[in-house]
């Protein structure tokens, strides 16, 4: 491990806005010695313990270096923002900025998104942002952050009527998510296959750009957006009408690099 990463990891431990639970904090063996999630002490206490101010909580899942979380928090101080990622060296940048600029409505959580419902109580979260998530073109459908498996996790803590925002350059992921919405009868609040070509003022949707977003725009690639709710009775079902081979082919060469590089 390089000295730069070691320095960042050491400094991360000093940031009060960054929560870094160990695996032992969220996993426990049950009677059959299978690992199950346990509730973290911060669950249900984010506003009281971390922010010390009662405001709606918004998550960004897979936040990378936290640029988008930071920008949203500065544009909308009436919300408390939490950026979530597993890479501590990435989170260092956002946590350091939030600390040095004394931002009262920003926090970061270092954990796997698969563990996310261990950290939030029912109704504790108002909105979720999925910004340029890996579309898992060749991977498991369950690994897509808008899959029925992840929606089931989100509804454990997303309030009734809570919004999920999907912002992506991947038409594959956009169309997959539309299929999930249709299959489960979910409500779409807003949809665009080219938010910057719409000619509309979309507020924070176009007013804040991620690292990749800026790069894709310079390449002339359209950015898509979906806003939807996940209120639903019974289990979420997987879509049967998503033409995966077609949309994978439409993706073309644009994803020959990894989103994990930033």
**Residue 138 near residue 103, CB atoms below 8 Å:** no
HSE of 93, CA atoms in CB hemisphere, 13 A: 14
243 is catalytic: no
From 85, 134, 231, 241, the catalytic residue: 134
Nearest-10 crossing angle of helices 88-100, 67-75 = 30
- Following CA atoms 177, 61, 133, 222 in sequence, which dihedral angle do they give, to the nearest 10 degrees? 80
Q: What is the DSSP string of 204-237?
A: HHHH---HHHHHHHHTT---EEEEEE---SS---
Residues 6 or more apart whose CB falls under 8 angstroms from that of 33 comprise none
- Catalytic residue positions, numbered: 134
């Amino acid at each position: 491990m390089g000295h730069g990463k070691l320095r960042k990891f050491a400094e991360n431990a000093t940031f009060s806005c960054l929560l870094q639970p160990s695996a032992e904090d969220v996993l426990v063996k049950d009677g059959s010695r299978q690992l199950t999630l346990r509730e973290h002490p911060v669950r249900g206490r984010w506003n009281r313990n971390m922010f010390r101010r009662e405001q709606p909580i918004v998550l960004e899942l897979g936040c990378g270096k936290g640029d988008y979380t930071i920008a949203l928090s500065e544009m909308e101080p009436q919300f408390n923002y939490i950026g979530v990622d597993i890479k501590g060296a990435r989170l260092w940048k956002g946590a350091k900025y939030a600390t040095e600029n004394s931002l009262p409505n920003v926090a970061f959580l270092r954990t796997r998104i698969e563990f996310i419902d261990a950290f939030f109580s029912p109704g504790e979260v108002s909105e979720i942002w999925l910004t340029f998530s890996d579309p898992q073109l060749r991977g498991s459908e369950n690994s897509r952050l808008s899959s029925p498996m992840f929606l089931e996790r989100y509804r454990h803590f997303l309030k009734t009527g809570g919004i999920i925002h999907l912002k992506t350059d991947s038409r594959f992921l956009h169309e997959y998510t539309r299929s999930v919405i249709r299959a489960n009868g979910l409500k779409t609040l807003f949809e665009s296959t080219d938010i910057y070509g719409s000619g509309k003022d979309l507020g924070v949707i176009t007013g804040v750009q991620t690292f990749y977003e800026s790069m894709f725009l310079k390449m002339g690639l359209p950015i898509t957006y979906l806003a939807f709710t996940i209120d639903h009775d019974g289990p979420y079902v997987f879509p049967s009408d998503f033409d995966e081979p077609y949309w994978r082919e439409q993706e073309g060469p644009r994803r020959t690099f990894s989103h994990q590089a930033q």
